[in-house]
Amino acid sequence: MEADWIAALATSGATALVAAAATDTWQSTREAFGRVFHRAGREDVVTGELDRVAAQLDAAGDGREAARAALTGQWAARLREVLERHPEAAADIQAAIDRARGSSAATPRDAAVGELSVRSARDVYVSGRDQTITHHHAPGTGRHGE
């Protein structure tokens, strides 16, 4: 029976790996995960399959989210296999995750980046993904205890 920590770490690793593939820092993340597979004796993964992750996402077009989910599942299975055979690889996988997350602040290559400023007498709601919202109220409006 697979330990919960193996499944959790493998899923975290796969998620970080696939998310980093869409950033300008893919190369350093790819190298960190490449070291994981190399040390586990899986040179076949190092030599080709990691290189195809970013290409598969780029080629997915409108199906990018489905491709991301499929790739995450595939890489989680590979990382589970590594951890089952080489539990000592956990530290290397965590270091690769940290590398990928450190680079997640980078702007994805396919992102639309900009700033939206709205002035209104009423509340305005904007929806999107991965956004930061700063809510300001004009002095004297009586909102939020002012």
How many contiguous H segments (helices) and E segments (strands) does the chain have? 6, 0
pLDDT by 10s per residue, the chain, length 146: 457 899 999 999 999 999 998 787 788 888 899 989 988 887 777 667 888 888 898 898 888 899 999 999 999 999 999 999 999 999 999 999 998 887 544 444 444 445 555 566 666 665 555 555 555 555 555 555 44
Q: Of all helices (H) and strands (E), which one includes residue 120? A: none
- Packing angle between helix 4-20 and helix 26-39, nearest 10 degrees? 140
Token pair, residue 131, equals: 């956004």
